[in-house]
Chain A
Amino acid sequence: MSNLKDIRAEEILISAIAEMLDGLPHIAVGASSPVPGAAAMLARARHPEKTRVSVLGSEKNNFFTDGGKELFDCAGQGRIDAFFLGGAQIDGQANINLVSVGDPDRPKVRFPGSFGSAYMYFTVPRVILFRLEHTPRTLVEKVDFISAPGTSEPHVYRPGGPYALITDRCLFSFDREKGVFRLASVHPGHTVEEIREQTGFEYDEPAEVPETPLPDAETLAVIRGSVAEQLAEIYPAFAAEVFGLGKAA
């Protein structure tokens, strides 16, 4: 049995995300997402004959040969099974905002921009939302700018959409029919009450909420071994901070 003291919060997230990716044929990871990137690599390590991983900005974990557009063309054809999106703000309908806070023409804060979100959210079946800051400031009732909508009118072509939202405190699943999140598990050291207090939107909460499982010893060994090593090529700062690794030569 793993000891909570020795396990980093990132490792719990990596392990929980990998569970949602288990056995999928093709997982794609966008820019600046070290934790989802690690989870995808963990999923691949578990099923090396079944699972492919494409990481944007990586040389070793990117097999595309047709330039920046190929990832999106692939998604449009249904060749990508899971993808990750974040959001400066995420609301209760799973709308995400990657653009700005306040009036978009005179924003209080400006973020990088929407990237491929407005497209991948529609075309990839299992989009996992990932946000490390879980506060009423980030998980809001209504986003200030919709980079990508969480749900669409029934006649809009949309094989893809939100599957789950994972934060530093908990995991929510998303019910696409109802258009609401449901509290799925609470990470060790956090409470259901705390989640209620720190979440700016309404969500469903079952009577019994399980704790997010800790990674077992075998999983931890893979994360700290081959996954950490592969991650160092793409996210050197993250790998150095979390795993104490330098960039591989």
Chain B
Amino acid sequence: MDAIRLDLEGLAARVPDEAKIALPPDYSYCAMALVRAIIARGVKGLHIIGVPALGFQADQLIGAGCVATVETAAVTLGEFGLAPRFGAAIKSASIRMLDGTCPAIHAGLQAAEKGVPFMPLRGVIGSDLEKRRDDWIVADNPFEESDPILMVKAIQPDFAVFHAPLADRYGNVWVGVRRELMLMAHAAKSSLVTAEKIVEGNLLDDPVRAAGTIPGLYVGALAEAENGAWPLGIPGGYDADAAELARYVEMARTEEGFADYMAGNSKEAAE
């Protein structure tokens, strides 16, 4: 079955207000161009989930006022420091924050992937994270005496939103070892994917490729986007544009600077 192929705007148009979307961390394959298109649409009230942490994508979505809820183990810009628009939103309490921990997010997605209501996980007991989450419960291990264990409620995003080096006309998407993208795609109701290149053949025909490929079954629609992760990089492809990321961090310190950055950015995209 041929995949639904759209342009970036068409893909962004599939994200309604208040959608729950899963996003990868900066060191994975981030669909930055698609995120800019979502911002340009003026989507509101998103619930964004970091798998397991968030970075530049989240900071820009939050700064642009697209986000109501952030569920993640962290928001970090790595060597570029704290995420400025995220920090400002937290201090003004303009977003709802669900602080989590990496493996609990993976566990919640794994529960959704299997279609079960929760997943048990070791650790976490006694942390303030656990005390502040009503979708986590400490219960007894049914197989042992006196063994409390955390139960993480399944996390089912409406969409997994990510980039990939390669996809084909059937919507098969190659992610290689970046299998958090596969987990996201399995758990979400649907995935919106951009790829550096969409080829005419079938990626599943090559057994070496197939092992790292998400089948088109999980992919709602895709768009070709060369340099679609820019200014982030893609591992094994191109490096992050450090000068551009530094320029963002500098400008995004203030609300006005952030607005100027995003305005310049969309102008550049239009040209």
Contact = CB atoms under 8 A, between A and B. Distances in A.
Q: Do A and B come from one complex?
A: yes
Interface of A: 31-32, 56-57, 59, 64-70, 72-73, 76, 98-100, 104-107, 110-123, 145-149, 152-153, 155-158, 235-238
A147 B78 contact: no
Interface in B115-146: 121-130, 132, 146
B250 to A, nearest CB: 15
Q: Counting chain A CB atoms within 10 Å of each CB, which of B51, B52, B129 scores highest?
A: B129
A115 B53 contact: yes
A26 to B, nearest CB: 17
Contacts of B183: 67, 69
Chain A interface main SS type: loop
A107 B72 CA distance: 17
A156 B125 contact: yes
A119 B103 contact: yes
| Nearest 7 Cβ contacts at the A-B interface | A67-B179, A113-B74, A122-B123, A72-B103, A67-B180, A119-B123, A69-B106
B101 A68 contact: no
A148 B110 CA distance: 23
Query: Which of B25, B52, B74 has its CB near the most chain A CB atoms (within 10 A)?
Result: B74
Interface of B: 25, 27-28, 51-53, 72-76, 78-79, 82-83, 86-87, 90-91, 93, 99-104, 106, 110, 121-130, 132, 146-149, 177-183, 235-236, 242
Nearest to B109: A69
A106 to B, nearest CB: 6
Given A65-B179, A118-B124, A147-B128, A110 B101 contact: no
Contacts of A59: 235-236
A69 B180 contact: yes
B224 to A, nearest CB: 24
A235 B148 CA distance: 39
Contacts of B235: 59
B148 A110 contact: no
A56 B179 CA distance: 14
A160 B184 CA distance: 29
Given A59-B235, A64-B177, A156-B148, A115 B74 contact: yes
A237 B147 CA distance: 45
B126 A32 contact: no
A146 B179 contact: no
